[in-house]
Amino acid sequence: MNREALIIASSCNERYAFGLLVMACSVVLNNRTSEICFHIVEDGVSPETKEMILGKVASVAAAVGVNVQLHFIELSRIDMGAFPTMGGGYSTYARMFLPWLVEAASLYYVDADILCNRPFFPLREMEAIHEGKLLAGCLDEEASVQKDEVWTQASTNDIYLNTGFLWMNLDLLRKVDLSSHFNVENIIVDQMFRTSAHFHDQTLLNCICDGRKGVLPGNYNIMGAALHSGSELSLDDNWHFTGSDKPWLTAGTLRHLIVPFYQFYVMVQQLGMESFLPYTAPRLPLSRWQYAMRHFLAARLWFRSRKRFRRFKEDVLIYRYSKSTAARYHARLEGLGMK
């Protein structure tokens, strides 16, 4: 493998496979390096789905002139022991075992529910800053406010990272005795499982790397309230669809997610993959009669409930913003070579 190759690791089960496909395509489109190598730790992904992912990523890479390798690694190679399942499987724990699954000095881990609009090369120029660190990621300010009890007890008040987007120093991680941390009899793991921690995998990794973590620019992992705000989004940031609502599983009717969801749909449309969605994705812009009906309903709401009217007015503004940003995102993708 080319020493300058960009190495990306991720994980998924069948439920997250389509999200992983779009994530991988977005990485290829925004990183015109000589070579990109994906290592995907999979938990029960069907052969047909793997073939679909391999074929689509290869076609996108060929269209923009990028050499891509994609390798699937079966999670069954790992003894998960007493780890509790999350999201119906164990794939979320895969990042903890990457030092022994991938032969590389370092890599970037990217969750399957991230849309990568930002190139990696600025981060690669910053890697020297994280010398001596086990990993680096973006601060998770929302989760840190409601930290798991186990984190509060085990931490030395170090920073708390969201582990959806990480730079991982595999050479140093291999030197850490992680087996003791993965033992269910370990006090941290025991407390975590007994108290039903909210973020099993994330909190455990933060505990293991306590005091040896670096911070990446926050626009590589926009999540939570920042993602839901809509109007604050930049088309050049990475969007992380945290929580149970995913754009390939939930139709874009959720008011607080309408803007980022539509950008995901724009990517799907540009890639010609609408048929792979398990539902019909909503379309923008709204038709003229839909706008007329909305204004009629708004007039009725004005007389009945001022509060409901203000909420309805906000909805209309959100749809209008979605329309304009969808057009800008179309243009951005076309500029990257997706016609």
Q: How many CB atoms lie within 10 A of CB 328?
A: 12
Provide mean pLDDT across the span 222-240: 76
pTM listed for this prediction = 0.81
Mean pLDDT of the chain: 76
Q: What is the pLDDT of residues 73-98, one digit of tens each?
A: 988 766 666 566 665 567 777 888 89
Beta strands in the chain (DSSP E): 6-13, 35-43, 67-74, 106-110, 114-115, 135-139, 161-169, 213-215, 239-240
Beta strands in 114-254 (DSSP E): 114-115, 135-139, 161-169, 213-215, 239-240
Give pLDDT, residue 298.
52
Residue 117 to residues 126, 208, 220, 222, 224, Cα–Cα distance (Å): 19, 30, 9, 11, 17
Among the residue ranges 45-59, 129-143, 314-328, the one predicted with the least confidence is 314-328
Among the residue ranges 35-39, 310-314, 335-339, the one predicted with the least confidence is 310-314
Residue 9 in this model has a pLDDT that exceeds 50: yes
Q: Angle formed by the axes of helices 306-335 and 258-270, to 10°? A: 30
Dihedral of alpha carbons 70, 274, 111, 203, sign: negative
Report helix, strand or coil for 214: strand
d(CA 311, CA 177): 53
Q: What is the pLDDT of residues 243-292, one digit of tens each?
A: 777 888 765 444 445 667 777 777 887 777 777 665 555 554 445 555 55
d(CA 54, CA 56): 6
CB 129 within 8 A of CB 41: no
Structure-token pair, residue 76: 């069954």
CB 214 within 8 A of CB 159: no
Residue 38 to residues 75, 94, 119, 150, Cα–Cα distance (Å): 15, 14, 15, 33
Domain ranges for the chain, please list them.
Answer: 6-220, 244-335
Residue 67 in this model has a pLDDT that exceeds 90: yes
CATH superfamily to which 6-220 belongs: Spore Coat Polysaccharide Biosynthesis Protein SpsA; Chain A (3.90.550.10)
CB 84 within 8 A of CB 190: no
Cα Rg of the chain, angstroms: 21
Residue 126 in this model has a pLDDT that exceeds 90: no
Provide mean pLDDT across the span 194-205: 67
Residue 163 to residues 180, 283, 325, Cα–Cα distance (Å): 20, 32, 28
Q: In the chain, how long is the greatest CA-to-CA distance? A: 68
Provide mean pLDDT across the span 103-130: 90
Instruction: Give the residue from 115, 59, 303 showing the smallest Cα distance to 227.
Output: 115
